[in-house]
Amino acid sequence: MAYIDINTTNVPDERGYFGEFGGRFVPETLVPALNELVTAYEDAMKDDAFQQELAYLQRTYTGRPTPVTYAKRLSEKLGGAQIYLKREDLAHTGAHKINNALGQALLAKRMGKQRVIAETGAGQHGVASATAAALLGLDCHVYMGSVDIARQQPNVFRMKLLGAEVIPVESGSKTLKDAINEAIRDWVTNVRDTFYLLGSALGPHPYPRMVRDFQSVIGVEARQQIQEMTGRLPDVCVACVGGGSNAIGLFHAFRDDQSVDLIGVEAGGHGIASGQHAARFADLNISRPGVLHGTKSYVMQDENGQIMHTHSISAGLDYASVGPEHAYLRANERAFYTFATDEETLAAFQTLSQTEGIIPALESAHAVAEVIKRAPQMRRDQIILVNLSGRGDKDLDTVIQALGNI
């Protein structure tokens, strides 16, 4: 069987639509490049040698399959459902992002594109891209807002150490949104020899689909692992949702298992009423369908369509839009979306550390916060599978600032 099976679903359609969401909203100059990418991607996926090379690197370099861990003490403490953790925190570079970065970098190489560009907010996707580029001998240039550069110094240094150039972006709010704008601008200018390595299940067709496919290994592995461990499927799958790539990577393998509830957790920040959050599906006063960065999905915007400023304690969830496939799954009621506040997330961060000896990424701690709310309402013979998208070392400064000296 192919490492990645691309014939598993009828979405998106050939124009990149997931129902009414997705598509391709880009300058005319990018259309040929996106078409070239569609063709190259489909060719690569049909090529056994490509699939085997990706599988080989995921096994021997990333460290896949990542394990599933039974969270015995957390389950006992909560007194309800049994909790299992899919351990993407144990993947090389400490998060799921490498699954996608490696897949796209391998594709860039196959397409003969030596120059790779990427955008990054917290620096996690920048580090994953710089890592994959170093491994495959590609030149990597990462756009990053100057505000983010100032607050994410360790990741900036990592990227440089890995041989990447970090390009400061001074426009707009000098954060992720502006870095994506600059990366798109670069791509328009240098489209012939440049590959845009996009970090989440976002952007113009075929990115949302391609990123989903590269991340779908999470759910494919976990579905098999949980059956081997428990003899059955989970009742609930939970994952945090920034752009949506780790969540769609987990959900995809379970999409036809109607007995399995799929729950995405957005950043509730200081609470929905405060307006300071990134809960695109929870606050329909300031979030509605619109276009951002080449795709149609829910976007937090004011009445004039100006993109709203978002807030989350975790940089990886701090984005005004969300992958179009999530908007589609929500519209069809196949998946449900909720949020965790910064405060609930910090509590979950400590609870998981102290019950299981696992320090999660703040992004992943949002998913754990939902498990803490939900497990006690469930029976002891029920199962929750939660995606631990990354490890928390990168977040220690943030947590120390938020909690003081614990």
Catalytic (active-site) positions: 97, 119, 389
Would you say the C-alpha torsion 269, 171, 179, 166 has a positive or negative sign?
negative
Q: Considering the complex, what minimum distance in angstroms separates the CB of residue 355 from ligand PLP?
A: 20
* 253-282: contacts with ligand PLP (CB under 6 A): none
Nearer to ligand PLP (CB atom), residue 86 or residue 109: 86
Closer residue to ligand PLP in complex, CB, 320/378: 320
> Which 32-61 positions form the footprint of ligand PLP (CB under 6 A)?
none
Report the largest interatomic distance among the alpha carbons of the chain, rounded to a whole angstrom: 57
Q: Which ranges constitute the DSSP H helices of 4-123? A: 31-46, 48-57, 72-78, 97-110
User: Which residues have C-beta within 8 Å of that of residue 384, sequence separation ≥ 6?
Assistant: 81, 82, 83, 84, 234, 235, 236, 237, 238, 371, 374, 375, 378
Residue with tokens 């990462």: 142
Residue 390 in the binding site for ligand PLP (CB under 6 A) = yes
CA distance 342 to 368: 12
124 near ligand PLP, judged by CB under 6 A: yes
Size of residue set near ligand PLP by CB under 6 A: 19
Q: Which helix (H) or strand (E) holds 117?
A: strand 115-120
Q: What residue is closest to ligand PLP based on CB?
A: 390
Q: Is 361 in the site for ligand PLP (CB under 6 A)?
A: yes
Is the CB of 58 or the CB of 245 nearer to ligand PLP? 245
Cβ-based neighbours of 87, under 8 Å, separated by 6 or more = 66, 67, 68, 69, 388
Site string for ligand PLP, 297-316 (x = CB under 6 A): -------------------x
Pairing of strands 115-120, 194-196: parallel
Q: How far is the CB of 296 from ligand PLP (least distance, A)?
A: 18
Residue selected from 97, 113, 280, 293 as contacting ligand PLP according to rule CB under 6 A: 97
For residue 403, how many C-alpha atoms fall within 13 Å in the half-sphere facing its CB? 17
CB of 65 vs ligand PLP, minimal distance in Å = 18
> Alpha-carbon distance 167 to 154, whole Å?
15
Closest CA to 132 of 103, 110, 161: 103
- Here the tokens at position 364 are 């992943």
Nearer to ligand PLP, 58 or 200 (CB): 200
101 is a site residue for ligand PLP (CB under 6 A): no
| Residue choice 66, 155, 338, 389 for contact with ligand PLP (CB under 6 A) | 389
Classified as helix, coil or strand, 354 is helix
Residue 175, burial from CB neighbour count under 10 angstroms (0-12, 13-18, 19+): buried
Query: Which residue number, 253 or 378, has a Cβ lying nearer to ligand PLP?
Result: 253
364 binds ligand PLP (CB under 6 A): yes
Q: Contact between 175 and ligand PLP (CB under 6 A)?
A: no
Q: How far is the CB of 133 from ligand PLP (least distance, A)?
A: 18
The tokens for 200 are 């989440």
Least distance (Å) from ligand PLP to the CB of residue 317? Answer: 6
Minimum gap (Å) between residue 242 Cβ and ligand PLP: 3
Residue 294 beta carbon to ligand PLP: minimum distance, rounded to whole angstroms: 16
For tokens 């795709």, what's the residue? 295
Asked if residue 363 binds ligand PLP (CB under 6 A), the reply is yes
Nearer to ligand PLP (CB atom), residue 58 or residue 82: 58
- Selected range binding ligand PLP among 111-119, 140-148, 160-168, 357-365, rule: CB under 6 A: 357-365
Report the site for ligand PLP in 229-248 (rule: CB under 6 A).
240-247
Q: Supply 368's token pair.
A: 């754990």
**Binding string, residues 193-222; x marks residues near ligand PLP by CB under 6 A:** -------x----------------------
**Smallest distance from the beta carbon of 245 to ligand PLP, in angstroms?**
3
Give the position of tokens 């069809």. 332
Between CA 217 and CA 54 the distance in angstroms is 11
Nearest to 22 by CA among 293, 340, 309, 381: 293
> For residue 229, what are the β-bridge partners?
none
The reply to whether 106 sits near ligand PLP by the rule CB under 6 A is no
- Closer by beta carbon to ligand PLP, 104 or else 246: 246
Catalog residues that contact ligand PLP under the rule CB under 6 A. 95, 97, 124, 200, 240-247, 316-317, 361, 363-364, 389-390
